[in-house]
Structure 1
Amino acid sequence: MGSQVDEELTVLVTGFQPFRSEYPINPSWEIAKSLPEYLPPRRAKDPNARNAVNIPPVRILVHPEPLRVNYKVVRETVPTFWEETYQDRKIDIVIHIGMAGPRIMYQIESRGHRTGYKARDVDGGHLDELEGKRDEEWVWHGLPDELRTDLNVQDIWERWQQHSSKNLDLRISDDAGRYLCDFIYYSSLATCYKQGKERKVIFLHVPADGSEAVIKQGQEVAVNLIRSIVESEVAKKQQTTEMDVSTKDIMCRSAVCSTCNKTTWWGCGKHIPSVLDSVAEDSRCTCEPKVERDGKMYPPMAKSPN
């Protein structure tokens, strides 16, 4: 992602086909296909955008057809999203949308799971049958059992709330369900992980209600989520640039996270283990995204040395 405000970003969005008889319409696809080609400009007097930042033009590219709720189809399709170009464009961020239950709420998922898929897909296929023996040839051999997005889920959720109607139920979840929703999410995360890319992907669970009113609401929710993700990424890049200058070669020290009021670190990032390894888990910052040092995951840097 470049620093120029006029540099266009591309967000790829996917949805699923129907897969349950009681829900002949899958709202994930109805929402995805209804999205505008470009993210609409923010209203100048938007009262819910106190923390909005200037963002570049955002192209919304929707996968041309709903994905079949089939393990094999998803496994073969997802890697194409993360090739050097997809439909002649470089993809910056991917949002997978899937259907949850009937309750009118919207959830962004923080992690995907490698194993534990017991349910058969819409064609009767089972993941164990598709994968066979999980030896060194297994596509996910050696990968973590859980993978988290590199997007800042907490910051995105806070911005998402600010951009959305106050009566909407917007949540963060850490369990995508171990069915095709979880599977496509982990597949995207794993593809990026194997390629050494930042995992700029998120999963959005939407209500199963296929009525016109709820689909329209879901479209607005998805647009606001896209805006929140891009704002978060731009703000993170700006903060990182500033921090790179202010913390260069400054030895890490303990600090308090301004979001969760727990212990984290501040500084150059080279000495995180020496700062946090002696801090009890229940006293550590729980915010995202995590930082990896020496094979271990640590909380993000504090916003100030306080």
Structure 2
Amino acid sequence: MTKTRDINVLITGMGPYPDGRGGRINPNTSHVVTTVLPKTLEPNTPRNPSAARIHITTLPEPVKTEYGHVRAFCRDLHARHAAADDDVDLFIHLGEARGWTWVTVERAAYGQGMSSSWWALWDRDAYYTIPDDAGQTIRDVGPSPWAGRVPLGLHPSFNVDGVCEGATALLDTLYRFGSGGSSSSRPGNVDAGNASDTFSSSSSHVQGMDNGKTVSTTNKPIEIRPHAEGGPYLCGFINYESLANRYVLNLKPNVLFCHVPGESDPTSLRRTADGLLAIVVAAVAQLQRTTTRE
């Protein structure tokens, strides 16, 4: 019997960013949540029903929310992992969507030069012209290195809607049988043992509204939604830059971008982490099906 190959996943989060009112949001929950993820999801367990052991790598520091930094970061990241025996099977970039109570997986990303009428953020229709954490816009960084080489719109190699459906099904099963609530009591990218270490029940409560009634969301999984694209700020930018580097290197665009809620209390982090781990497992399932067909 052929042994199932281990899967390696790299997850990044973003750093502090301007709040648009003269202040600064710090820390960025998209990085904070990476510090509570386990290093490993063991195979054939409730949280990872696949036959593959999944290794999760996170970065000690967040990715700076600066256009120039993100462009250089993505270039260096994919140059480093461009070997034929690539040691990363799935790249996931996270960004914060303050005010949202769900996790999204983005279907597409758009490059420098894009404009649209569906983002009315700060009265700008040109993408990446909102000042970053250094006070700069994409115009300060310079012309796009992708012009004429890479399509203006890119999408990942995954069926994003299918990933969301798979993640939702896994979360529903885990929470229904009392295994919901990813532990965030241990700092850092820690090892997880059995299923209860990562999806462990929580006794704390988060109150939400359901048709006007107050309900406990402690044992309700976070919602996972497919979403059109990451938007005209650093979230959309890192997604496109990451995909563009894969494109020019003629590598599979095995990149996902997820928006996470801004809440960083322990209970919220547990629910968000659970959602991210379920997304990882669902994406890995697609990777395995693709590999089998190839």
TM-score normalised to structure 2 length = 0.71
Q: Which residue of 2 aligns with 1:6?
A: 4
The answer to whether the aligner puts 1:92 opposite 2:103 as a matched pair is no
Q: C-alpha distance in 2, partners of 1:18/1:118?
A: 18
Q: Which residue of 1 aligns with 2:51?
A: 55
Amino acid across the alignment from 2:133: V
Q: Which residue of 1 aligns with 2:200?
A: none
Q: C-alpha distance in 2, partners of 1:160/1:101?
A: 22
Q: Which residue of 2 aligns with 1:118?
A: 129
Deviation of the 1:5 alpha carbon:
4.2
Q: 1:37 touches 1:61 (CA, 8 Å); kept in 2?
A: yes
1:182-221 matches, cutoff 5 A: 182-221=236-275
Q: 1:111 touches 1:176 (CA, 8 Å); kept in 2?
A: yes
With over 3 angstroms needed to count, the CA separation of the structure-2 counterparts of 1:23 and 1:40, relative to structure 1, is farther
Q: Which residue of 2 aligns with 1:180?
A: 234
Q: C-alpha distance in 2, partners of 1:142/1:38?
A: 37
The answer to whether the aligner puts 1:18 opposite 2:20 as a matched pair is no
Q: Which residue of 2 aligns with 1:76?
A: 72
Aligned partner of residue 110 in structure 1, secondary structure: strand
Amino acid across the alignment from 2:90: I
Q: 1:100 touches 1:206 (CA, 8 Å); kept in 2?
A: yes
Q: 1:13 touches 1:63 (CA, 8 Å); kept in 2?
A: yes
Q: Which residue of 1 aligns with 2:214?
A: none
Match of 2:157 among 144, 150, 153: 150
Residues 216-243 of structure 1 show CA distances to partners (whole Å, capped at 9, x for unaligned) of 11111111111111012112333x25xx
The answer to whether the aligner puts 1:107 opposite 2:104 as a matched pair is yes
Residues 234-286 of structure 1 show CA distances to partners (whole Å, capped at 9, x for unaligned) of 12333x25xxxxxxxxxxxxxxxxxxxxxxxxxxxxxxxxxxxxxxxxxxxxx
Following TM superposition, the consecutive aligned residue runs of length 4 or more in structure 1 with deviations greater than 6 angstroms are: none
Q: 1:55 touches 1:230 (CA, 8 Å); kept in 2?
A: no
Amino acid across the alignment from 2:235: C
Aligned partner of residue 214 in structure 1, secondary structure: helix
Q: C-alpha distance in 1, partners of 2:107/2:268?
A: 24
Q: 1:31 touches 1:219 (CA, 8 Å); kept in 2?
A: yes
Deviates more, 1:187-196 or 1:31-40: 31-40
Q: C-alpha distance in 2, partners of 1:193/1:4?
A: 31
Structure 1 gaps, min length 5: 242-306
With over 3 angstroms needed to count, the CA separation of the structure-2 counterparts of 1:176 and 1:4, relative to structure 1, is farther
Q: 1:82 touches 1:191 (CA, 8 Å); kept in 2?
A: yes
Residues 6-56 of structure 1 show CA distances to partners (whole Å, capped at 9, x for unaligned) of 322211100011213464331111111211111244535x7xx9xx5x332
TM-score normalised to structure 1 length = 0.68
Structure with higher Rg: it is 1
Aligned partner of residue 25 in structure 1, secondary structure: coil
Q: Which residue of 2 aligns with 1:31?
A: 33
Q: Which residue of 2 aligns with 1:131?
A: 142
* Count of aligned pairs: 227
Deviation of the 1:84 alpha carbon:
4.8
Amino acid across the alignment from 2:27: I
Deviation of the 1:72 alpha carbon:
0.8
Deviation of the 1:85 alpha carbon:
3.8
Q: C-alpha distance in 2, partners of 1:55/1:71?
A: 39
Amino acid across the alignment from 1:218: T
1:248-267 matches, cutoff 5 A: none
The answer to whether the aligner puts 1:169 opposite 2:223 as a matched pair is yes
Deviation of the 1:64 alpha carbon:
2.5
Deviation of the 1:180 alpha carbon:
0.5
Q: C-alpha distance in 2, partners of 1:107/1:4?
A: 35
**Once superposed, what is the RMSD of the aligned Cα atoms?**
2.4
Q: 2:97 touches 2:262 (CA, 8 Å); kept in 1?
A: yes
Structure 2 gaps, min length 5: 113-126, 173-219
Amino acid across the alignment from 1:197: L
Q: 2:81 touches 2:87 (CA, 8 Å); kept in 1?
A: yes
**Identity percentage over the alignment?**
23
Q: C-alpha distance in 2, partners of 1:4/1:77?
A: 37
